[in-house]
Amino acid sequence: MKKPRVAIFDFACCEGCQLQIVNLEEEILDLIGAVDVVEWREAMSEQSHEYDVAIIEGSITREEDEKRLEVIRSRAKVLIAIGACATIGGINKLKNNFESMDEVRECVYGEAGKKPHLDTYPTKALDEVVKVDYRVHGCPMDRAEFAYIIKSVLLGKKPEIPDYPVCVECKAKGNPCLWEYGQVCLGPIIRAGCGARCPSSGHRCFGCRGYISNPNVDAAKDVMDKYGLTVEDLKTKMVLFGSKQEPTL
């Protein structure tokens, strides 16, 4: 059987998810052995326009990026978005809360922000531009979950991605609830699959894996009431990785 040809690309991001691929350490050699990596700008000099699987990190923030993504989509049979920037727009969407992009540009570069090479538009996740076949959630993505999803795709199986809240995994670990410690934790509405990594380290969930498909918004409101907090308190925390996204409270 011919090995599937894989290409790895990135747009606006910190490239921390590609780093997680490297962080597989020895295991990366097994993965690389199962496929034919034809383009990975960060790791090799070769380039190719022919690939079966495109793995993409980062958000879309410019016209030129959008065009490049469309070309990649037209060439790839399977498109996999890795990390929050690609799957939900991630932290890059914080700038979408500004009235205008001119304001954003001026905020960082002052007068020089008007220069054409500093152009930007409101951040988009990949699926706001093209069809995405698989998503590896998280900021950064979890390297074990990445390996699992890639293996599933190579075997022609559908990977199982949790669609229940982080609370499920957090409770299973026996963690004390961070709400009891006054932290506005997003565990009740955010997709599990991370092993409740942040709450397990004593830090509230800030939602890097995105919302579950059917979050129980009413229950979240009950929780807010119980702890004497308002929906506004919750929204200021949801904005980190969930700017301009459903669900609205």
Partner 1 sequence: MTDLNINVKHITRVEGHGNIVVNAKEGKVEQVEWQVPEAPRFFEAMVRGRSYEDIQTIVSRICGICSISHSLVATKAVENALGIEVSEQTDKIRLILHYAEQLQSHVLHVGYLAVPDFFGAPSVVPLVSKATDAVKTIIRAHRVANNWSDLVGGRTTHPITIIPGGFTVIPSEDQFRQLQGTLRETLKDLGTIAEVVLSVAENIPDFTRDTEYISLSDPARYSFYHGGIASTDTNEIVLVKDWHSVTNEFVVDQSTAKWAKWHRNSYAVGALARFNNNADQLTDASKGVAKMLGLEKGCCNPYFNNIAQIVECVYVVENAIKLIDEVLTAGLKNEVVKTSPKAGRGAAAVEAPRGILFHEYEFDSNGNCVAADLCIPTNQNHANIQDDFEKLVPEFMGEGEDALRQKLEMLVRSYDPCISCSAHMLNVKFV
Which helix (H) or strand (E) segment holds residue 135: the answer is: strand 134-136
- Helical H segments across the chain, by residue range: 16-22, 27-34, 63-75, 84-87, 101-109, 143-154, 166-172, 197-200, 217-226, 231-242
**Under a CB-based contact definition with an 8 Å cutoff, are residues 60 and 123 in contact?**
yes
Helix, strand, or coil (residue 12): strand
Cβ at position 79, least distance to partner 1 in Å? 20
Cβ at position 37, least distance to partner 1 in Å? 9
Tell me how far CA of residue 22 lies from CA of 11, 102, 153, in angstroms: 18, 37, 19
Cβ at position 157, least distance to partner 1 in Å? 27
The HSE-up count of residue 31 (CA atoms within 13 Å, CB side) is 20
User: In this structure, how many other beta carbons lie within 10 angstroms of the beta carbon of residue 110?
Assistant: 9
Nearer to partner 1, 1 or 29 (CB): 29
Nearer to partner 1, 61 or 87 (CB): 61
Question: Tokens at residue 179, please?
Answer: 């709400």
Nearer to partner 1, 52 or 142 (CB): 142
Nearer to partner 1, 98 or 227 (CB): 98
Question: Tokens at residue 164, please?
Answer: 């229940």
35-65 burial, b for 16+ CB within 10 Å, e for fewer? bbbbbbeeeeeeeeeebbbbbbbbbbbeeeb
Nearer to partner 1, 218 or 232 (CB): 232
Closest Cα to residue 81, out of 48, 51, 50, 59? 59
Cβ at position 214, least distance to partner 1 in Å? 26
Q: What distance in Å separates the CA atoms of residue 232 and residue 44, rounded to the nearest whole number?
A: 47
Cβ at position 237, least distance to partner 1 in Å? 8
Which helix (H) or strand (E) segment holds residue 123: the answer is: none
Cβ at position 205, least distance to partner 1 in Å? 10
Nearer to partner 1, 2 or 117 (CB): 117
Nearer to partner 1, 42 or 160 (CB): 42
Binding site for partner 1 (CB under 8 A): 10-23, 25-26, 29, 32, 41-45, 47, 61-62, 65, 90-92, 94-95, 97-98, 103-105, 107-109, 112, 115, 117-118, 120, 139-140, 197-198, 201-203, 206, 236-237, 239-240
Cβ at position 196, least distance to partner 1 in Å? 11
